Structure 1
Amino acid sequence: MSATASSGGPASLASISWRGQVVQVEYQWIAPERTQAPLVVFLHEGLGSVAMWKDFPAQLCAAGGFRGLMFSRPGYGRSTPRAPDEHWGVDFMHRQAHEVLPALLQALGVVEAPWLFGHSDGASIALLYAAKFPNHVAGLVLLAPHILVEDVTIANIELARTAYETTDLRNKLGRYHDDADSAFWGWNRIWLDPAFRTWNIGADITAVRAPVLAVQGLDDEYGTLAQIRGIAGRVPGTQLLELDGCAHSPHRDRPGDVISETVAFIHGACGTRP
Structure 2
Amino acid sequence: MARLQSSGFFDLGDGRLEYHFVGRQPAAAPTLVLLHEGLGSAMQWGALPETLARTTGCGVLAVSRQGYGASSPVSLPRPADYLEHEARAVLPRILDAAEVGSGVLIGHSDGASIAALALAEGEARLRGGVLIAPHFFVEEVTLSAIRRTRAAYERGLLRTRLGRWHADVEGAFRGWNDAWLDPGRRGWTIEAALTRLTVPVTLIQGTEDAYGTRAQIVAARRSCPPGLLTVRELPNVGHEPHREAFADTVAIIAAFVRRVLEDEGAGEPHRPDGAPMGE
Give yes or no for TM over 0.5: yes
- Alignment partner of 1:43 out of 24, 28, 35: 35
| C-alpha distance in 1 between matches for 2:26 and 2:114 | 26
Letter in 2 for 1:267: R
- Runs (4+) of structure 1 exceeding 2 A deviation are 32-38, 133-136, 269-274
Query: What SS class does the counterpart of residue 258 from structure 1 fall into?
Result: helix
Alignment partner, residue 60 of structure 1: 52
Query: What SS class does the counterpart of residue 81 from structure 1 fall into?
Result: coil
Aligned pairs (5 A) from 1:77-88: 77-83=69-75, 86-88=76-78
Instruction: Using the TM superposition, give the Cα deviation of residue 225 of structure 1 relative to its aligned residue in structure 2, in angstroms.
Output: 1.3
The count of aligned residue pairs is: 262
Letter in 1 for 2:131: L
Alignment partner, residue 237 of structure 2: 246
Confirm or deny: 8 A CA contact 2:34 2:107 kept in the other structure: yes
Letter in 2 for 1:266: V
Q: Does 1:73 align with 2:70?
A: no
Alignment partner, residue 86 of structure 2: 96
Cα RMSD after superposing both structures: 1.7
Distance 1:131 1:107, change over 3 A: same
Q: Does 1:202 align with 2:191?
A: yes
Confirm or deny: 8 A CA contact 1:93 1:121 kept in the other structure: yes
Deviations 1:88-139 (A, max 9, x none): 11101000001111111112222x2310000000000000001113423100
| C-alpha distance in 2 between matches for 1:72 and 1:102 | 15
Deviations 1:219-246 (A, max 9, x none): 0000011113321222222010000121
| C-alpha distance in 2 between matches for 1:95 and 1:117 | 18
Instruction: Using the TM superposition, give the Cα deviation of residue 35 of structure 1 relative to its aligned residue in structure 2, in angstroms.
Output: 4.4
Confirm or deny: 8 A CA contact 1:29 1:67 kept in the other structure: yes
Aligned pairs (5 A) from 1:104-253: 104-110=94-100, 112-235=101-224, 236-237=226-227, 238-253=229-244
Query: What SS class does the counterpart of residue 131 from structure 2 fall into?
Result: strand
Q: Does 1:260 align with 2:256?
A: no
Q: Which ranges of structure 2 fall in alignment gaps of 5 or more residues?
A: 263-267, 269-276
Confirm or deny: 8 A CA contact 2:209 2:237 kept in the other structure: yes
Confirm or deny: 8 A CA contact 2:24 2:59 kept in the other structure: yes
Instruction: Using the TM superposition, give the Cα deviation of residue 194 of structure 1 relative to its aligned residue in structure 2, in angstroms.
Output: 0.4
Q: Which ranges of structure 1 fall in alignment gaps of 5 or more residues?
A: none
| C-alpha distance in 2 between matches for 1:209 and 1:62 | 28
Deviations 1:24-46 (A, max 9, x none): 10012211347433210000000
Aligned pairs (5 A) from 1:1-40: 10-17=6-13, 22-33=14-25, 35-40=27-32
Instruction: Using the TM superposition, give the Cα deviation of residue 265 of structure 1 relative to its aligned residue in structure 2, in angstroms.
Output: 1.5
Distance 1:53 1:160, change over 3 A: same
Confirm or deny: 8 A CA contact 2:122 2:198 kept in the other structure: no
